[in-house]
Structure 1
Amino acid sequence: MILSRLCIRLSLVCALPVAAAEADDPAKKPAPKPEPAAVVEVTAPLPTEPLVTVLDAKAPRQPVPAHDGAEYLKTIPGFSVIRKGGTDGDPVLRGMAGSRLIMLLDGEQILGGCGMRMDPPTAYIFPESYDRITVVKGPQTVLYGPGNSAGTVRFERSNARFQQPGFEGFASLMGGSFGRHDEVFDARVGTSDVYVRGIGTRSHSDDYEDGKGTSIHSKYTRWSANAAFGWTPNDNTLLEVTGARSNGEAAYADRTMDGAKFLRENLGLKGQFRHLSTLVEKVEFQAYRNYADHIMDNYSVRTFTPTMMSSQPSAMNPDRTTKGGRLAADLRVASTTLLELGFDAQTNEHTGRMSMMQWSMPEEAKPRVPDARFRNMGLFAEVNHAFTTQDRLVGGLRADRWHAEDPRATVALTMMSTVPNPTADQQRDETLTSGFLRYEREAGIGSTWYAGVGHAERFPDYWEAITKESRTGVSAFNTRPERTTQLDIGWIQQTGTVQASVSAFYGKVGDFILIESNVAKPAGMMGTRLTTVTRNVDATTWGGEVGATTKLAGFLKVDATLAYTHGQNDTDAKPLAQIAPLEARLGLGYEVDAWSVGLLLRGVARQDRFALNQGNIVGQDLGATGGFGIVSFHGGWKPAHGWLVSAGVDNLFNRLYAEHISRGTSVLPGYVVQSLRVNEPGRMAWLKASFTFGR
C-alpha cells in the first residue's frame, strides 16, 4: 500500500501512543493537542512502537470511507476489505479474515448474527464516535481475548478527568456524490467528580455507480446513539456506565437478500483504580452485554420479484446475545518490570427464525430457535522487562477453556429441505493456549529493532462450525481448532522530519480452517448437489509492509507504503485463497499555513495466485485479477481555531475496477451485471466540515 497521509502534524503523530495511554488514565489530563494542519489522512500513521499503529478516528481521510469500521482500516498497510455493497465490508489483515482478527469496541466484543456474514463486527462500529483506533498486528499480545492469529483492533474512547467544570466536543458534516451524507455529534460535559457524554451519528448513501456508470445495488442508512456517565472522585479512580443503540439497513450487490435491520443494544460498566500501592499500579474491571438483532429479506430494500418457487417474499431473523467481562491488574514487580495479570470471560447464544411466506406467515410471529452456544474463560499474563535503557523483552501467555453446544435438531440442505443433525445436542470442551515472546532494542536515536515469535490457537467460530457442512457429513461442528505460529521482525526509525518502518512475518498454520464452496455431494434420487464445506488444511503465509514519510523544504510532504502477503495451502499444494495482491501508495502533499492540497496514487498489482472456490467465511476466490492504478485529489482549509474544511475527489479518472478479494455479483431485478466481482465506486466528490470545541 502506499503511504500518503497528509495528517496531523508530525510532532502529534510521534506523540500518539503516549497520548493514547494518558487518555485512559483519569490521573492525567492530556496536554492540549497541537493545532492540526489543514490536512487529509490518506493512510495510517507509521508505527511508533513495534507492530502497533494508532489512528485518529475523527480525522478526515481519503478515500472517504463508508460509515463502518472496516473502511477505516483500509488505510493501514496490510489491510484490505471484501466488498459486498456500499457498507459492511469485511476487513482482512495479511490475508486473514473473520474471527482471526479480534475487534473490540471500547474493550467489548460484539459478534454479528447473520449466517451469510452481512453484519461482521465492524458493521456495528461507527468510527467517528471513537477517539482513536489501535491495531496490533500478529499474535503479539495476549491481553484482549483468544484467537488473535491475524491481529487485534481496539476502537477506543478517551475519558480523562475534568480538572474543573467544563465541556468539550466534536461535530462534523459531510456530503458527497451518490447522495452521500454523514452527520456526527460528540459532546462531553462534567466536573472534577462526574461527567456525561452523548454521541450521535448518521450516515446515508444512495446506490453508487462504478467507473462505467453502472449502478451498483449498494444504498444504506445507518445511525447510532451512545451515552456514558462517569464518576471520577479523584485522579486515580474512574467508574463509568455506558449504553448504546444503533440500527439501519443496507443493500447488497452480491446476494439475493438485503439487510433490513441491524439493531444493536448495549450496556456496559467499567472501572479503573490506579496507584493503589508501590506494587499495584492499576486494577481495572469491565462487564458488558451486547445484543444484535438482524433481519435479512428480499423485499424491504429491493423490489420483490415472485418466482416459481415462491410467490411471497422471504425473511430471516437471526440474533445473538454476547455477555462478557474482564478483570486485570498491572503489577510493578521491579523498577524495570511490569506484569499484567488478568481473567476474561464471554458467553454468547445465537438463535434464528425464518419465513418463506412473509406476507401470510411473517418470521416475527415464529419462535426463535437456538442453533449455537459458546462459552470461553481465559487467564492471561503479559510482562514487559527492560534489561537496559536500550533492551527490552516483552512476552505473554494465556490459556482458554472453550465450551460449545450444538442444539440444532436438523440441518438445512436447501431453503426447502432439512435432514437430521448428526451432531444434535453434542457438546465440545477444549483447552487452548497462546503466547508470544518479543525482543526490542533501541539502536541509536529514534531507531528500534524487534523480533518476536507468537502462537495463537483459535476455536472454530459460528460461521465455520455451524453454518457450513463438513466434507464427510452435513455438520462441521467438530472442526479442529486452528494453530498459528508466526515470526515477526521489523525496524522503526523516527528522526527529525523522517519516519520509516519495515516489518516482515512468516507464519505456519496447522489445521487452518478453510471454507470451500461448490463441493459436490450425493443427493439421493436427485443425483448430486453443490454445497459449502469447512475443512482443516495446513498453510504457510509470509510477507510484510514498508513505509516512509518525510517533509521537504518544510512544506512538501511525501509518503509511501508497500504491502505484500503470500499464502500457500500446503495440504492441497495450491495458493491460499483470498490473499490480496501487492499494493503500493504514494502521497504527495503541499502544506502552508492554513491550507493543504495533495494527491494519492494507489497501485495494485495483478493477482494470478488464486484457489477457485476456496476462501474464508466471507468469500471464496473467483479467479485471477488484473492490476489497476487509482488517482485521488484532496485539499484542506483551516478557517479558524477548531474548524477544518476538507474536500476531495476519489478515483479522479473514474477508473473501472474491483478488488481481488471482493464478493461475486448477483443477478438483481433492475440492475445490470457487467462484472464478475462487485466493482468499486467510480469518481466521487466530497466536502466535509468539522469543528472541535471546548477545552
Structure 2
Amino acid sequence: MKPKKLTLHPLALALMGGLSFAAGAAQTSAAPVLNDDDVITVTAPVLSPLEVVTSPKAPRQPVPASDASDYLKTIPGFSQIRNGGSNGDPVFRGMFGSRLRMLTNDSEMLGACPARMDAPASYISPESYDLLTLTKGPETVLWGPGNSAGTVRFDREPPQFAKGDAKGDASLLAASNDRFDENADVSFGNEKGYVRLSGNHSQAGDYKDGDGQRVASQWEKWNTDMAIGWTPDADTLLELTAGQGDGNASYAGRGMDGSQFKRESLGLRFKKDNIGETFDSLDISAWYNYANHIMDNYSLRSPGTMTSATSDTMDMSAKMDKQVDRRTVGGRMMGTWLWSDFQLQSGLDTQLNTHRSNEEDENEGWQEDARFHDYGAFGELTWTATDLTKMIGGARLDKVEVDNATGVGDDSRQDTLPAGFLRVEHNLATVPAMYYVGLGYTERFPDYWELFSPTYGPDGTTDVFDHLKPEKTTQLDAGAQYKGKRVSGWVSAYLGRINDYILFEYDPDDSHVSQAQNVDATIMGGEMGASYQLSEQWKTDFTLNYSWGENSDENQPLPQTPPLEARAGLTWEKGDWTSTGLLRMVSPQHRVAINEGNVVGKDFDSSAGFAIVSANAAYKINPHLKLSSGVDNLLDKTYSEHLNLAGNSSFGYSTNTPINEPGRTFWAKMNLTF
C-alpha cells in the first residue's frame, strides 16, 4: 500500500492567517496557573504536591514539544522511552502504558500499533490545549479505571465573551535540523455562543548527535480542531467539537516507520451549573476517537538487512507494511451535590474500543481481533472538616468485558474491578504550608498491548488472553508544600505494593519473542522542588525526582526504571527581558533487569550519567508580541537516555546500542496574542 503524501490541511493554512491579527487580549484560563507567560520555565509549577496544573501554551525548555510525551518529560517524575525524534512513550515514576491514563477534553485516544508505534501521546499536540492537569497516583476515581501511576488531562477551556469579539494566539518556531512549527488558535463569538478554530503543523528532519552522527528521526504532523458552543446563559454550555490530523515519523529504533497517523475525533458536551441549593451542577459528554495507522519499511527508509542478537543476518530488502486501526467511543455523566461542608461528585462512565488489522496479504481485508468494553460507577466525597483541614475519599466499580477474535484462547473474558482512596489535606495555621497523606487502591485490567502483543503468556503457552491477571496496586502517597515570600518548596513521595504486576520477558536471542507474566512488585520514590528569589531580578529553582522498583518474587530490580534526575534553573527578569539557564543532571542507572521490560522497551544494559546545559532568552515587544530563542545541549554533549530503544541495524547500529539524543540545537520562536 502506498502511504499518502502528507500535506498541511487547508483549514490549518487558513488558521495560520490569524498571524495577521494583532488586536484584543489573550485568552486566559479560569483555573489557577502558576506559570508566568512571559518567562520560559524549566521546572513544573505546583498547586499542591499531589496535583500539577499548568498551561501547555506557556513557553518551556527544551525546544517546544512535538507531542504530549515530549511535553510531559519536562515535569518532575516523568521520563520517556525514546526511539528517535518524536512519538516517544511517557513514563511516570517508572510506570508505563495504561497505568498512566491520558485524556483530552475528558476523552481517550488509543493508538492501534501492537508495539505502540503510535502511542496515545503521539496524537496530542500540547500547544493547542489550555490546561494540563496531572493527578499523581491512585488519588482520584473520577477519570476512569486502573490509573495506578496517575491521570493526565489536556483540556480546552470554553472561551468567554461579554459581547461580539474575537481573540486567540498564534506562534511560529524555527530550529535546527529543519524544525518548523506553526500554531494558531482563534475564537470569536458573543455572550450567546462561540466558534473556536485551532490548527498546527510541525515538521523536522533527522537530527545529529553530539558526535555529528545522523539519527533517523524525521517527522511531520498536522492537526485541525473546531468547537462550536452555545451559551444561552452564564450557567449553561452545549458544545460540539470535531478534529482530524495525520503525520509520519521515522524511527531509528524500529524495523519499520510510521507512514500514517490519521486521527478523527468528535465530541458533544452539555454542562449546567448553579442548578439548585443542593444539586449544583451536571456535566454530560459523549465522544468518538478513531486512529488509522500504517507502518512500513520503505516510505521513509530503504529496506536492507537486519542483524539479530545472535549475529545472524536476515534479508529485509522485501517491502513490508501493515495497517491497523482503533475506534474508541465513550461517554460520561457526572453530577455535583453540595451540603454545608460536603461536596459529592458522582456519576457513570463507559468506553467501547475496537481494534482491527487490514490483512491485505491474505486478501481478507479488515479483521477485528479485539473489543474492550468498560462500564464504571464512581463517587468522590470532599469534607471540609475545618478551615484548615479537608478529607477526600472516593470509590469506583468497573465491569470490564473483552472479546477475543484471534482464535487463540477463549472467545471472551470479563472481570469486576474495585478502586478507592482516602486522603487528608491539612494547612498549617502559623506558617504558609500544607501537607497531605493518602492511601489508594486500584485494579487495572490488562490492556490491548499486554493481552495481544506477547508471544507467550504466564504459563509458557501462546494463550496470553486467558491467563494474564489484572494488576492490583495499593499505594501510600504523602507530600508537603511551603510558600514564603522568597522561598518556596514542595515534596511528594509514594510507597506502593503491586500484586500481579505485568512484566514482559524477552528472548535474548530474538527480541521479537516475548512472554508476559505476573509478578509481585514493590515501588517507592518521589519528587521535590524548591525556588528562591535571590533579588528583584534573579530567581533560582531546583527539582529532584527518583523512582525505585523491585520484583519481589525474584528479589531483583524492576526493569525500565528511570535513574535519579535533578534540574537546576537560574532566571533573570527585568522589564520586558527574561533569560534562563538550565542544568539537567542524570545519574547512572545500574539497577537493571536484562531482557525484561514492557511492550515497547527492555533493559539491555546499564546506562551512564550525564549533565546537559541549556539556555534561552525572551523579549516582549508589546503586550501582543513576544520573541524568544534558545539553545539546548549547549556543550554539544553526546549522551543517551536510560529508557531507550536499541538502534535498529538497518540504520547501521550494532546489537543493543542505545540511540543518542540530539546534539547542540538552536531554536527561535514568535508568539502572538490578540
Flag whether TM exceeds 0.5 (same fold).
Answer: yes
1:633 aligns with 2:608: no
Distance 1:555 1:480, change over 3 A: same
> Of 322, 325, 333, which aligns to 2:328?
322
Partner of 1:454: 440
1:488 aligns with 2:477: yes
Once the two structures are superposed, residues 310-346 of structure 1 have per-residue CA deviations (whole angstroms, 9 ceiling, x without a partner) of 66411110100000000000100x2111000110000
- Give yes or no for contact 1:517–1:532 (8 Å, CA) kept in 2: yes
Distance 1:268 1:621, change over 3 A: same
Distance 1:309 1:683, change over 3 A: closer
Partner of 1:506: 495
Q: Distance in 1 between matches of 2:334 and 2:117?
A: 34
Aligned length: 636
- Give yes or no for contact 1:314–1:354 (8 Å, CA) kept in 2: no
Offset at 1:585? 0.3
Q: Distance in 2 between matches of 1:435 and 1:37?
A: 37
Once the two structures are superposed, residues 277-298 of structure 1 have per-residue CA deviations (whole angstroms, 9 ceiling, x without a partner) of 0011110000011010000001
Q: Where do 5+ consecutive residues of structure 2 fail to align?
A: 1-27, 307-313
Partner of 1:43: 43
Q: Could you tell me which amino acid in structure 2 is paired with residue 163 of structure 1?
A: A
Find the residue that maps to 1:247 and give its secondary structure. strand
Q: Could you tell me which amino acid in structure 1 is paired with residue 165 of structure 2?
A: G
Offset at 1:306? 7.9
Once the two structures are superposed, residues 210-264 of structure 1 have per-residue CA deviations (whole angstroms, 9 ceiling, x without a partner) of 1111100000000000001000000000000000100000000111100000001
Partner of 1:645: 627
Once the two structures are superposed, residues 485-535 of structure 1 have per-residue CA deviations (whole angstroms, 9 ceiling, x without a partner) of 000111011222332101111000000001111178xxxxxxx99720110
Q: Distance in 2 between matches of 1:82 and 1:601?
A: 21
Distance 1:137 1:34, change over 3 A: closer
Offset at 1:113? 0.1
Partner of 1:139: 138
Q: Distance in 2 between matches of 1:498 and 1:643?
A: 31
Q: Could you tell me which amino acid in structure 1 is paired with residue 495 of structure 2?
A: Y
Q: Could you tell me which amino acid in structure 2 is paired with residue 402 of structure 1?
A: V
Find the residue that maps to 1:108 and give its secondary structure. coil
- Give yes or no for contact 2:304–2:315 (8 Å, CA) kept in 1: no
1:341 aligns with 2:346: yes
Q: Distance in 2 between matches of 1:587 and 1:403?
A: 48
Find the residue that maps to 1:318 and give its secondary structure. strand
- Give yes or no for contact 2:428–2:434 (8 Å, CA) kept in 1: yes
Once the two structures are superposed, residues 193-222 of structure 1 have per-residue CA deviations (whole angstroms, 9 ceiling, x without a partner) of 110000000100000011111100000000
> Of 562, 570, 574, which aligns to 1:580?
562
- Give yes or no for contact 1:184–1:202 (8 Å, CA) kept in 2: yes
Partner of 1:5: none
Q: Distance in 1 between matches of 2:301 and 2:59?
A: 32
Q: Could you tell me which amino acid in structure 2 is paired with residue 489 of structure 1?
A: A
1:376 aligns with 2:374: yes
Q: Distance in 1 between matches of 2:492 and 2:204?
A: 37
Distance 1:529 1:655, change over 3 A: closer
Q: Distance in 2 between matches of 1:136 and 1:327?
A: 20
Q: Alignment RMSD, CA only?
A: 1.9
Once the two structures are superposed, residues 365-389 of structure 1 have per-residue CA deviations (whole angstroms, 9 ceiling, x without a partner) of 7511111110000000001101100
The 5-angstrom pairing of residues 423-442 of structure 1 reads: 423=409, 425-442=410-427
- Give yes or no for contact 1:98–1:618 (8 Å, CA) kept in 2: no
Q: Distance in 2 between matches of 1:529 and 1:96?
A: 21
Once the two structures are superposed, residues 407-452 of structure 1 have per-residue CA deviations (whole angstroms, 9 ceiling, x without a partner) of 113xxxxxxxxxxx2x1x5211100001110001011343111100
Offset at 1:651? 0.3
Once the two structures are superposed, residues 67-100 of structure 1 have per-residue CA deviations (whole angstroms, 9 ceiling, x without a partner) of 1000111111110011111100000000001000
Offset at 1:161? 3.1
The 5-angstrom pairing of residues 92-491 of structure 1 reads: 92-305=91-304, 312-332=318-338, 334-354=339-359, 366-409=364-407, 421=408, 423=409, 425-444=410-429, 445-468=431-454, 469-471=456-458, 472-478=460-466, 479-491=468-480
- Give yes or no for contact 1:39–1:646 (8 Å, CA) kept in 2: no
- Give yes or no for contact 2:647–2:653 (8 Å, CA) kept in 1: no
Q: Could you tell me which amino acid in structure 2 is paired with residue 474 of structure 1?
A: T
Q: Could you tell me which amino acid in structure 2 is paired with residue 203 of structure 1?
A: S
- Give yes or no for contact 1:565–1:580 (8 Å, CA) kept in 2: yes
Q: Distance in 2 between matches of 1:493 and 1:647?
A: 33
Find the residue that maps to 2:127 and give its secondary structure. helix
Q: Could you tell me which amino acid in structure 2 is paired with residue 396 of structure 1?
A: G
Distance 1:584 1:35, change over 3 A: closer
Partner of 2:23: none
Q: Distance in 2 between matches of 1:339 and 1:588?
A: 43
Offset at 1:160? 3.9
Partner of 1:654: 636
Offset at 1:668? 2.1
Find the residue that maps to 2:378 and give its secondary structure. strand
Q: Distance in 2 between matches of 1:215 and 1:650?
A: 17
Q: Distance in 1 between matches of 2:447 and 2:234?
A: 41
Offset at 1:61? 1.2
Q: Distance in 1 between matches of 2:129 and 2:618?
A: 22
Q: Could you tell me which amino acid in structure 1 is paired with residue 436 of structure 2?
A: Y
Q: Distance in 2 between matches of 1:673 and 1:621?
A: 16
Q: Could you tell me which amino acid in structure 2 is paired with residue 343 of structure 1?
A: L
Q: Distance in 2 between matches of 1:34 and 1:53?
A: 10
Distance 1:310 1:605, change over 3 A: closer
Q: Distance in 1 between matches of 2:376 and 2:144?
A: 8
1:668 aligns with 2:668: no
Find the residue that maps to 2:559 and give its secondary structure. coil
Offset at 1:168? 1.0
Partner of 2:543: 561
Q: Distance in 2 between matches of 1:38 and 1:620?
A: 40
Offset at 1:554? 1.1
Partner of 1:525: none
Q: Distance in 1 between matches of 2:305 and 2:535?
A: 65
Q: Where do 5+ consecutive residues of structure 1 fail to align?
A: 1-18, 24-29, 356-360, 410-420, 521-527
Q: Distance in 2 between matches of 1:536 and 1:209?
A: 40
Q: Distance in 2 between matches of 1:75 and 1:288?
A: 29
Find the residue that maps to 1:660 and give its secondary structure. coil
Distance 1:665 1:53, change over 3 A: same
1:592 aligns with 2:574: yes
TM superposition score normalised by structure 2:
0.92
Partner of 1:6: none
Q: Could you tell me which amino acid in structure 1 is paired with residue 274 of structure 2?
A: H
Partner of 2:22: none
Find the residue that maps to 1:668 and give its secondary structure. helix
- Give yes or no for contact 1:589–1:598 (8 Å, CA) kept in 2: yes
Partner of 1:524: none
Once the two structures are superposed, residues 351-377 of structure 1 have per-residue CA deviations (whole angstroms, 9 ceiling, x without a partner) of 11245xxxxx6x9x7511111110000
Distance 1:233 1:644, change over 3 A: same
Q: Distance in 2 between matches of 1:635 and 1:465?
A: 48
Distance 1:34 1:559, change over 3 A: closer
Offset at 1:675? 7.5
Q: Could you tell me which amino acid in structure 2 is paired with residue 39 of structure 1?
A: V
Q: Could you tell me which amino acid in structure 1 is paired with residue 472 of structure 2?
A: R
Q: Could you tell me which amino acid in structure 1 is paired with residue 42 of structure 2?
A: V
Q: Could you tell me which amino acid in structure 2 is paired with residue 388 of structure 1?
A: T
Find the residue that maps to 1:63 and give its secondary structure. coil
Q: Distance in 1 between matches of 2:657 and 2:182?
A: 34
Offset at 1:34? 11
Q: Distance in 1 between matches of 2:661 and 2:488?
A: 31
Q: Could you tell me which amino acid in structure 1 is paired with residue 401 of structure 2?
A: H
Partner of 1:418: none
- Give yes or no for contact 1:68–1:126 (8 Å, CA) kept in 2: yes
